[in-house]
A and B are shown apart, each in its own frame.
Chain A
Amino acid sequence: MSLRDTSGLGRTGFKFENIDFSDDAAIAMTKFGTRTLQLALDPSASYFSGTSVAISVDSNVTVLTLPDANDGLMYFTFKMPAEMVVSGSVTIDIYWKTTAITGDVYLESKICSATTGEATTVEDTQTTTSPAPTTSGQIKKSTITHSTSIMTQNDWIGLLITRYPANAADTLGADIKVLMVVFNYTGRA
């Protein structure tokens, strides 16, 4: 006879009774559930390009300036975690600050998930428009969402984050400084 109501055993605090077990029953434990995990991507460790896109220090934090005068680009490469749950979506959080207190920033995220023998071209493009913080110098978070439908565990991920100040949606008349880019994904518990 096997364990009774095996599906319930994943609940913390579930109570066993003698009748749940036969003599000499063997038990194997499987972890349940998921958790949100973060992969921090330091902008100063990226390959970046664009006039006046440069590393500096702002209040002890290393930042990368994305100017208002021209496009600023940040390229990252990382390996998709083996424990990623490929379902739903991932989010890219971009933390930035600026001296302006009005206007919007327009940011774009391009992503590719590739394995050996595959092309490294763009598979998904998403954008976000975020208003400036109402207090000068306050940290702002912009979030962009990508579907996991293009992703596989252990793939190599290419991620390009760009600010397009000439885009009509970018009405913030100042440079921004990017403090951190965070890749949020669902991993197994």
Chain B
Amino acid sequence: MALAGITGWGLQGQKISDDDIHPNANLGLTKLGTRTIWINLMPTSAQLSGASCVKTQSNIFGGVVMPDANSSLLYFSFCVPSEMDLSQNCVIEIAWVCAPTSGAAEFFFSLTSQKSAGIVTQEVGGSIVSTAQGTTNRLNSATATGIPGASFAYGDIVGLNIYRIPSGGSDTLSADLKILGIAFKYAGRG
């Protein structure tokens, strides 16, 4: 005799009664829950656009310069993993450093997500204002949260554009900055 109601065992907290278990039955377990997964998008691998937007390094970290003199843009592409939980929100995190110890940088982002026969249009966009650290070249983190997983579908090709417009009113950092890392966080199956 097999376990009774075996389709119900994937639910955490499911109650088991003696009658459900055959003596010496083998029990197969289904993985539950989700886990946090990061897709690393190295700025040094991006398509770069804008004068003086070039590869560089800060100490032993590779990165890209986003100048203060003009706009600069980084473009990435990746696929939506089949194990992504589309019901949960995603996060974009940008690691950056700068010499000044005051002021703030504003990063804009634009996400597209389409598959074959789809038309590429923006799914999600926005900006993040991130304040400089009080010590030169300390690591900063600019984080965009609440990006709906429902914006994506399995197998979609995602286009991500991260850009800086230093002439914008919220960008008060009067210097070049260096983007060291960009990561896209999603919830994967457990």
Contacts and interface: CB of A to CB of B under 8 A. Distances in A.
A112 to B, nearest CB: 6
Nearest to B184: A79
Contacts of B17: 21, 23-25
B57 A49 contact: yes
A156 B62 contact: no
Nearest to B23: A17
B24 A158 contact: no
A173 interface: no
Interface string B11-39: 01111111011011111011110011110
Contact of A21 (B21, B24, B183): B21
Nearest to A17: B23
Interface string B108-139: 00000000000000000000000001010111
Contact of B40 (A16, A78, A115, A118): A78
Contacts of B16: 21, 24-27
Interface stretch (A88-96, A119-127, A131-139, A163-171): A119-127
B25 A116 contact: no
Contacts of A21: 16-18, 20-21
Contacts, number: 148
Contacts of B140: 116
A63 interface: no
A103 interface: no
Contact of A120 (B18, B37, B58): B58
Contact of B61 (A18, A75, A116): A75
Given A79-B183, A120-B60, A45 B21 contact: no
B114 to A, nearest CB: 24
Given A17-B24, A79-B181, A158-B61, A23 B18 contact: yes
Contacts of A110: 60
A116 B23 contact: no
Given A46-B62, A110-B60, A31 B139 contact: no
Residue among B42, B56, B137, B183 with max Cβ neighbours from chain A (10 Å): B42
B67 interface: no
Interface in B132-159: 133, 135, 137-141
A24 B15 contact: yes
A13 B27 CA distance: 7
Contact of A13 (B20, B26, B36): B26
B59 interface: yes
Interface of A: 13-18, 20-29, 31, 39, 42, 45-47, 49, 75-79, 81-83, 110-112, 114-122, 154, 156, 158-160, 188
Given A78-B181, A120-B59, A158-B60, 4 more contacts: A78-B42, A110-B60, A116-B140, A121-B59
20 contacts: A14-B27, A15-B25, A16-B21, A21-B21, A26-B16, A27-B14, A29-B12, A29-B31, A75-B63, A77-B61, A82-B37, A114-B139, A115-B141, A116-B139, A118-B138, A119-B138, A156-B181, A158-B60, A158-B61, A160-B60
Q: Which 3 A-B pairs have the closest CB atoms?
A: A75-B62, A158-B61, A45-B45
